[in-house]
Amino acid sequence: MTERKKSGILEKKALTPYELLSLIISAAGLVAVIIVWTQTRQMTASLESTAWQTVQSHQLELNKVFIENPGYMPYFYSGASISESDKNYNKAVAIADLKLDFFDSLYGQAKHLPELQGDSAAWKAWERYILDSFEQSPIMCKRINEVPCWYTSDFLEVAGRKCAQTPKCLEQSEGRKR
């Protein structure tokens, strides 16, 4: 029912079918907006959780490689070089590729993780780890310079901060060329 003024006196009248339908549609619209807002928040939380799971999964996989192959740690954590004639060279290259792929993936996932935005403490820690990895691993610098088009330009810029030669892809577009 609505109240309408008639000569200074309020008079109650039933809603017309059009008014009732308009009211129902408006209420349904409000409920729909609330539902969409709630679902968007849940989807955002789900994406963030998935991104963190991906990062953690890759980090654990990388840790497992070094647990299973501790003899390769000096090439990645102590600044030791490995010769191309060394029988373990190809495996060291494969581990370098795995580590480079993880770091490049981290740069891709970071945009979905508010904790890794801007100058956050978490992002600074990850970036320090990445920079230290380049500084302590000649094979990583060598490998990224051999195949720079496999990596994003943002990641190449980071590698260039610690590698003697700054990796560049002449045909670079955002994303991998694999």
CA distance 72 to 92: 7
- Burial label for 61, CB within 10 Å (0-12, 13-18, 19+), is exposed
Tens-digit pLDDT profile for residues 92-151: 999 999 999 999 988 877 777 778 777 889 889 999 999 999 999 999 999 999 999 999
165 in helix, strand or coil?
coil
110 in helix, strand or coil?
helix
Q: What is the DSSP letter of 12?
A: E
What mean pLDDT, rounded, does the chain reach?
Answer: 85
- Cβ density class 134-146: b for 16+ within 10 Å, e for less: bebbbbbbbbbbe
The structure tokens 């094979």 sit at 139
The structure tokens 């990596």 sit at 151
The whole-model pTM stands at 0.70
* Region 5-30 average pLDDT: 81
